[in-house]
Chain A
């Protein structure tokens, strides 16, 4: 790119163009859409943040934990008769079906996270392997799961499912907020608040914070470290499963073997933006990243810019404020 800067001046449009009128026009719809995506990022980001807080490990395979949940949603709903067209069911049976899909996705993701921890990470932890070994194992595990799915389902995305017809709920600044956006944002925020309460109030939550703060001391104080670690992975998996349902709701054609990969990077960027290891930071970072990504995409005129923008945000945060916006770690968060 560098050597071509000078001779390129006449064909400036070939590089990057900013479409500011379009952003101004679509500002509010971009905002609500961005918040919806942000809620999904935040749920996935929690999985990264919790594991990072407890083990100081970037669990690269978390994106695969998430995509397994997406497949669980897909299979549950297609078994229940959902298809590309809007289902002809009354609202209560739709809610019941979605709840069933949610539970199965959470179970599938949590089981994946559990197996991952037991098979890949536990043997390393037992003999105190260096960090590099953990990271390489994590990426190897991520790769393995991804290509197992690839061999099973092939390269193309699964059939897009429609869960319900998004109904307009209310009107803000001339932009209609539909039921889908509302469901995703409210459900995600409720879950985040719930997990925040869980971490700060419950006995297990206290254990998680203790291990995050100082694993050895926590063990001496009678915390069962192994159980806390596995619980953390399972909680991350449960949240990833929930995120999977919302993701499939929002992007029905996104169920693909490598669909979790870029979302995982964005979720991690969200976690870093909010402050890695910080539960509230994950929510804040997720929502912010969703907004920034969506504005960027409209400003630059191609949906793939979302990924680039998220990445640039990650690098900038690392450069300017590596501890993230809220900063505090899981261990130091208030009781």
Chain B
């Protein structure tokens, strides 16, 4: 598949809905037309961001990352979750949700598959870490850090086992099967004696290292090192996922999301890429589960009810399905809001349930809409397209531009 093949399915996908918007955008020339296609409310920010030079963007990112690392140490007065919740632990929780949202975003946001049992993968990851490190389990024990790749491999395996029967069919089946799976894992943890039900596994391992006084660095009560570890993992995963997104795999996912039949007809092996998306998402879920098990130090069947899956989904949808930065933001927010505003913590499920419906009805692209533009070509090519004028250039871009105009039009109409 050559580079130009990437967005073609997109074009076919949205071509019909695109027709109207294409006419409209054909009237406006170049840059202004592209501006129009941006999400409405965040268009301003993404324009500003794209106007910066590469170096400025990097400098800005470095500042953000450094601030993110310093967050639990600064403990900013208004943002802090204290006295209700320890802020460093809250930071870890936010990072955990953000990591989960990044993983779920691969499934829901890129490939457009609805995974309603993500907590199950999280649970499988947690149980992997617990059963391989806790003294309560009779199995062989390995160092905690090794459980992370094991947890990822095992959850990936579960993802494939679950994905292969369901992903051959239309996406709806995946939704109900994952929803069931989310509940089944919890039930199995309860009724299989070896999983120890509510008794659970105590003293789950943690990464090595001790402070000068002999206490372990990664203790259950100190959220800071865990937060840093998770944040580092988020950065690595985001970079990897970002690379995937810009690769052939990512283009295939987006083609599948926009129109599966069209993608199939254009030669995208949809089943293969769907299984990949599902398995990668599952592995990231397992990773976050292993981290969670390590931090809490105790795993039992009470921590993984299926309602948590809906919170994860709310995180992705709130942030903007298909946008990894949006997913991080959404994940952090979904975790942060109940921790900060403890008065409404009791209502969090109701709030996020209503939020899901309202977001879908009024702004289905979320806070930060996914970039629909010419993913295959990158920014340089995009700028060239923007700077071009005249009808012949217009004709040349029409397929790609039309496609994302279509998607944007759809989203715009929803806004």
B345 lies within 8 A of chain A by Cβ: no
A136 lies within 8 A of chain B by Cβ: yes
In chain A, positions 1-45 with a C-beta closer than 8 Å to chain B are 1-4, 7-8, 11, 13-16
**B183 and chain A: residue at smallest CB distance:** A262
> Which residue of B177, B350, B354 contacts A315 across the interface (Cβ within 8 Å)?
B177
B188 lies within 8 A of chain A by Cβ: yes
Tally of contact residues, A, Cβ under 8 A: 58
In chain A, positions 297-320 with a C-beta closer than 8 Å to chain B are 302, 304-305, 307-308, 310-311, 314-316, 318-319
| Given contact pairs A147-B350, A261-B183, A4 touches B139 in the complex (Cβ within 8 A) | yes
A265 lies within 8 A of chain B by Cβ: yes
Residue-wise interface mask of A (126-153) relative to B, using a CB-CB cutoff of 8 A (1 in contact, 0 not): 0111111101110111111011101100
Residue-wise interface mask of B (347-367) relative to A, using a CB-CB cutoff of 8 A (1 in contact, 0 not): 101101111110011001000
CB distance from B17 to the nearest CB of A (A): 8
Question: How far, in angstroms, from A309 to B128 measured CA to CA in the complex?
Answer: 23
B43 lies within 8 A of chain A by Cβ: no
Contacts of B190 in A (CB 8 A): 304
CB distance from A123 to the nearest CB of B (A): 5
Contacts of A140 in B (CB 8 A): 310, 314, 353-357, 360
**A320 and chain B: residue at smallest CB distance:** B165
In chain A, positions 73-129 with a C-beta closer than 8 Å to chain B are 120, 123-124, 127-129
- On chain B, which size bracket covers the interface? 35 or more
B15 lies within 8 A of chain A by Cβ: no
Contact across chains for A136 and B317 when beta carbons are under 8 A apart: yes
Question: How far, in angstroms, from A221 to B306 measured CA to CA in the complex?
Answer: 44
Question: How far, in angstroms, from A95 to B194 measured CA to CA in the complex?
Answer: 48
| Given contact pairs A140-B356, A307-B183, A265 touches B364 in the complex (Cβ within 8 A) | no
> Which residue of A14, A127, A315 contacts B166 across the interface (Cβ within 8 Å)?
A315
Contact across chains for B357 and A14 when beta carbons are under 8 A apart: no
In chain B, positions 98-149 with a C-beta closer than 8 Å to chain A are 108, 112, 114, 116, 124, 127-128, 131-132, 137-140
**A134 and chain B: residue at smallest CB distance:** B360
Name the segment of B68-76, B168-176, B261-269 touching the other chain.
B168-176
Contact across chains for A308 and B171 when beta carbons are under 8 A apart: no
Residue-wise interface mask of B (224-251) relative to A, using a CB-CB cutoff of 8 A (1 in contact, 0 not): 0000000000000000000000000000
Contact across chains for A311 and B180 when beta carbons are under 8 A apart: yes
Contact across chains for A131 and B171 when beta carbons are under 8 A apart: yes
B220 lies within 8 A of chain A by Cβ: no
Question: How far, in angstroms, from A130 to B317 measured CA to CA in the complex?
Answer: 14
A57 lies within 8 A of chain B by Cβ: yes
Residue-wise interface mask of B (153-173) relative to A, using a CB-CB cutoff of 8 A (1 in contact, 0 not): 010010000101110110111
In chain B, positions 285-330 with a C-beta closer than 8 Å to chain A are 306-307, 310, 313-314, 317, 321
Contacts of A315 in B (CB 8 A): 162, 165-166, 177
Residue-wise interface mask of B (169-212) relative to A, using a CB-CB cutoff of 8 A (1 in contact, 0 not): 10111011101110110011011111000000000000000000
Question: How far, in angstroms, from A124 to B350 measured CA to CA in the complex?
Answer: 21
Contacts of B165 in A (CB 8 A): 315-316, 318-319
Sample of 9 more A-B contacts, CB < 8 Å, known A139-B175, A147-B349, A308-B187? A3-B132, A13-B193, A120-B361, A128-B17, A135-B114, A143-B356, A265-B176, A304-B190, A314-B176
Q: What would be 27 A-B contacts, judged by CB atoms less than 8 Å apart?
A: A1-B154, A7-B139, A8-B194, A11-B138, A57-B172, A58-B172, A60-B179, A127-B414, A130-B410, A132-B108, A136-B360, A137-B361, A139-B179, A140-B353, A140-B355, A143-B349, A143-B350, A144-B354, A147-B350, A265-B180, A268-B176, A304-B190, A304-B191, A308-B188, A318-B166, A322-B168, A322-B169
The 8 closest A-B pairs by CB, nearest first: A140-B356, A143-B353, A14-B194, A319-B165, A144-B353, A147-B350, A140-B357, A137-B360
Interface residues of chain B, those whose CB is within 8 Å of chain A, are 17, 108, 112, 114, 116, 124, 127-128, 131-132, 137-140, 150, 154, 157, 162, 164-166, 168-169, 171-173, 175-177, 179-181, 183-184, 187-188, 190-194, 257, 306-307, 310, 313-314, 317, 321, 347, 349-350, 352-357, 360-361, 364, 410, 413-414
